[in-house]
Chains A and B, each alone.
Chain A
Amino acid sequence: MSGDSPAERAGRRRARLLVAAVVTVVLGVSLILAEAIDLDKSIRPLIPDSSPELAKSAGVLDLAPFSKVLAVQLAADGPDSARLLPETADAVRARLDPALMDAPALDEQIPDMAGVMALLPALADGECLDQVATAMDPAALGPRLAVLKDDLSGVNAAVTGLFWRADPLGLRGCVFKNFPRLTGLPQPDPMIGYPVSDDGLRLLILIRPKVAMSDTDGCVALMANLEESLAVSLPEGVTAQIAGGHRHTAANSGVIMRDLVVTMSLAMILILAIYVFLVRSWGALWLFLTPAAAVLIATAIMSLVFDRVSGLAIGFGAAVLGIAEDYAVHVHFALRRSPDSRTAIRWVARPLFMSVLLCAGGFGVLWWSAIPAIRQVAVFTILSIVVGYAWAILVLPHCPGMDTPRERAMPPADLRRPRKRACLATVGVFACLTLVLFAAVPRNASVRSLGHASRELLSDQAAIEKAWKLNQDMSIFLAEGGDAEQALALVRQGEASLRARMPGLESASLASLWPDAAEQAARIAAWNSLMAERGAEFTAAFTQAALEHGFAPAAFEPFLQWFAAKPARIDAEALRSAGLGFLLNSFLSAKDGKTYATLLVQDAGANHGVSALDGNERIFALSARGLEHGLDRAMSQDRWLIPAAAVICLLVLLWTFQDGYFALLAFIPSLAGLAGVLAWFMASGHPLGLVEAAGLPLVVCLGADYGILAVHEFSEKLDLGAARAILVSGLTTVAGIGILILARHPVLKAMGGTVFVGLVAAMAAAILLLPRLCGEKRTGRDGA
């Protein structure tokens, strides 16, 4: 370079200034855009959206009855529990932030008897109407009132005292029999105001969050407030456990953020350490900037392309750091050994471009994954790789200290041909091994594998579910309607469909307590007819009998007023007036202008329920089994991504080498990586889940990337320091991805583990196996 003319030096200076200006502007704009990115820290992007019903179900997850409450169990194992538990519960409730959550008042949970009786005419079926007619018989009134009087003074007084004035004839059963039996939520002790266990040692606070389960920031704030309330309020001897979807969301959000910071930082430190030990030049500083710039610019573009970006996709950035800088490493070593930067770029641009194509192809197939977050990982990684390549080719040669040759050019490597039989046999063995292992590895379509749940969280949830029989073996369906009547009509259809297929199946919804308009009208008409015929006679006889039994004239005023009133139709307001607001909220929800009615079905242990409602696109299944069924289908769908990635890789390799055997040789690390990771799954018992399956195409393309660089040395008469470059870039890639094993979120951990093991196997094959499969020396690729 010292022999450059002043004009050349000036030209380089101008180019350098231009590049610096452009890079500064691009990085500045990227920084602003990346700052504004809307990160989704929930597990929602992990729910496959390939099937419309699964996508819709995921969209309304937070409308399920159990999603609408947070259960806080207080436990005290001692003689003071009866005093401590309600006191503590009150103290916790008092500290809850009303903007984030509340606990329903007792009045909302205990029926008001006059309101309940007002529901009766619209619920009075034939059997009930017969019961009413019998109770109205003047001859039956005397004995009935005598029993009532005894009950008011005997052991039944506590219950009788609640309803005797509104229901002296004992007709409330006609209403109560329509109450959904599978509410799934324990009823409060009317004295204490909270559900209390039989042994009195546990108390449950049911909290109504005011933030959606998908609102990660809201859930984090809610959990922080709740945990603070508990920390301040819990006396010695009282413990608390929390269960609910909002806790899961908050936990996942926290873990994703922690993983983002930890893995990114560690990956940067590790990559820097590798540069310091293996590159040993100031150029390492520019190398280090490459992945950082690539990730920054890719993040900025992601913020423009997607409304919300999964935190997990960005969390995969730690791995991307290790991949994106590969090109810079190769350019760096080429610059050190070539006479000038143009020559170096000319030498490496094509093989590196092939490598970009390979990676883009491998990650590109992930675009067809059923999981939205995986698709975002694909876009994010491809963007990072393309930016990393562009940075290496366009920016790096202009960086100070990068364009000066520092090392003596090494003698050309021996040009070798693959040993055909050995190459074919190796490919065959690895391909068969991969197929056999892929068929044998256990599958896992569990929903829980997609979300972070600490041991404490799972243990709390299991303890609460067991103690209070919450959410046990229950399928949840949500019917979508324009209003409550429409949604409930769909629920009725769904229930009828289920019952037709599975007679005796136990189910629950608000439909039984809120009949359709026509049915209500018919029942009210029958009621009015009975009252018109016998009402006046009954009222006179009842009033007389009451007086004869010593009751004051006003004793049954609520009953007689109801009896004389015009029967009203049942609607949301009527149910709220009857003190059934909590029940109403559990079974009916509104979101985005739609009303959703809940149908709970006792899960018979199969997917029959789900399939029974298939075909009605306005009813969504929210059962764990249904979701797992959907995940399983999504996993089957994602399975073809692996051969697709393999085909893309082979095509790129063929195009690169224009030689079938070289292409097969370069493909061996991919197969070795696949076989290695599947063997690891088998040996460790680690199941193949959705995320692991999505990681396998990455192993294929990154393995082929090693192959292409290793074989390049055999196929071209060029030594650009490829061996050292492979070592450095391989180590940084493995380090970046390996860091993900430290992640606490299962998705990042699974992805990191899968790709890490696969890449170690692929690297070993590239470094140790490929040279042994090349035996024939030649003087040049074209025989020259």
Chain B
Amino acid sequence: MALKRRESNLPTRFAIPMAPMIDVTFLLLMFFMCNLRVSTSEADFRQNLPVGGPKPVLNDDVVLPEIKVGLKSDRDGRLISITIGSKDLGNDDAAFDQLSDEVLTVVRRLGNPLRKDVEVEIDADFETEYRHVMKAVSKCTGRLDPQTKQVARYIEKIKFAPPHKPKE
């Protein structure tokens, strides 16, 4: 008996409706494009101590030097001078570099075990632009090796002196 081939009712080719999917995809694309913010990455300077807070009690036998960094400015916030202790370093980029050298000298003198206990106090005028203070914090914290791009940190504790009153 000859078998009769049955005609299939199914269409030979499926056409999946792509239009809704493309619509949604374009909407997603628009959403992500609109929400994209080109921004630089951010990083923190951690402060271990409350600003202007009490000093921690250390072993009586160990007398750590106080590193006091002063930032003096005029009424408009322009930097007049950077001081470390009683030494005036100036107010330009070289002064900040010298500040870094001075701090490193003190830290080297103390040696490794005490290094982490050394504290830098930053005493800035009320008007001093915040960028100068942050630069000073950065210079006291460590330095970047230009070849390896690695950060060598030598100070972990930074604190602010109690705030000054604004200049009249």
Task: Specify whether A and B are partners.
Answer: no
Residues of B within 8 A of A (CB): none
